[in-house]
Amino acid sequence: MTSTRKIIHLDMDCFFAAVEMRDNPRLRDIPLAIGSDGKRGVVATCNYPARAFGVRSAMSSHEALKRCPQLTFVRGNMDKYQAVSKQIRQIFLRYTPLVEPLSLDEAYLDVSASPHFAGSATLIAEDIRRSVFAETGLTVSAGVAPNKFLAKIASDENKPDGLFVLTPAKVADFVAALPLRKIPGVGPKAAEKLARLGLQFCRDIVPPGGEVPLPLLSALLKEFGSQTASLLERCQGIDLREVQPSRERKSVAVERTLASDLHQLTDAQQMLQQLLPDLQRRLEQSGKAHLLAKIGVKLKFSDFRLTTVETQSQHLDPVLLNELLTQAWQRRADQGIRLLGLQLGFKTQCEEQLSLPFEVALTHPNEFNYSAACLPG
């Protein structure tokens, strides 16, 4: 069920908001959100006083202000957040080279072979938290466990500014009582499906020391297909994934949520032109222009449907992007456009080595998902 690995998951507490509160003491004790309070604004993140009112990340600004009328909005500064994130990453690397960043504000560390503190993952996590606060003025929550899945769950147990240690001896009881909705990847819809089957906790699927009843296994396979195997592993506390220090970037994108819907193609074309310089800058910063393999245009309609049109291209071609925009525009069924995005997809390193062809994909009308897998050599 468990391994001898020692994994730490570190998660900065309301990172963007915390940076702003650190830099402006007047923001420390008031409900604060990072984002825009405009008509189409969205909360990127918020501090804990705001969360006490029910404000959450990805919530519309309109809904956030309904829940917390005194909410203060601050526009984000991504350059500043990236600089702080790099500073924190360097702290992590003092303890182990096995650091896998998940985003600007969280990472996995494998400290199984770390010489620090006689190999105690608990003491390492405590020292990392002290160092981050001393050097950045920010707090970070940590989870220590035998694998990545359990460490990520553990880091959320004592937030904010907390530490939770899950030893191998405690894994079985902890996982048995774990709500299924807390498993990463089990979203609201999946949780509803599980609830309809009478399943709320991991023990409802895999009883401690028991096996999954065949009728239940059949029902899970019907609902979740190939994802069932991963679900069964998580319900037993199993996660064999290793910490991957290098996470290969597969795409870059820019997008803009519009203050009011666009109803004319010419207006959308003008917006595309406005987004191009930022996309070009991000492409240059990625250092992967030579690996560019596809370009695409994403539209979100007034009814929140998403559509993406993309095609193979080794160059950031404005003319081709306009052609893709026209194709996507024809799918709107008289709906206005509330968001326009541009995205670039890269060859992975293995695709570059094997010179694999890149498939052209058209998605409609659901979300686009970049995915690339290396073929066996």
Report, as residue numbers or ranges, the catalytic residues: 106
CA distances from 226 to 28, 33, 125, 231, 366 (A): 46, 38, 35, 10, 20
Instruction: Quote the CA–CA distance of 241 and 145 in Å, as a whole number.
Output: 13
289 within 8 A of 345, measured Cβ to Cβ: no
**Identity of the residue numbered 158:** N
Structure tokens at 33: 């959100």
Structure tokens at 361: 């994909």
Say whether 105 counts as a known binding-site residue: yes
For CA atoms 91, 93, 96, 100, give the dihedral sign: positive
In the chain, count H helices and then E strands: 14, 13
Question: Strand 362-363 vs strand 43-46: parallel, antiparallel, or unpaired?
Answer: unpaired
**Could you tell me where the beta strands, DSSP code E, fall in the chain?**
7-12, 32-35, 43-46, 72-74, 99-103, 106-110, 140-145, 163-165, 251-262, 292-301, 306-312, 337-346, 362-363
Instruction: Quote the CA–CA distance of 310 and 303 in Å, as a whole number.
Output: 22
Structure tokens at 281: 């800058």
Question: Strand 140-145 vs strand 163-165: parallel, antiparallel, or unpaired?
Answer: parallel
Instruction: Quote the CA–CA distance of 201 and 178 in Å, as a whole number.
Output: 6
Instruction: Quote the CA–CA distance of 175 and 171 in Å, as a whole number.
Output: 6
Cα 112 to the chain's mean position, in Å? 25
Residues within the annotated binding site for Mg(2+)? Answer: 11, 105
Which residues define the annotated binding site? 11, 105
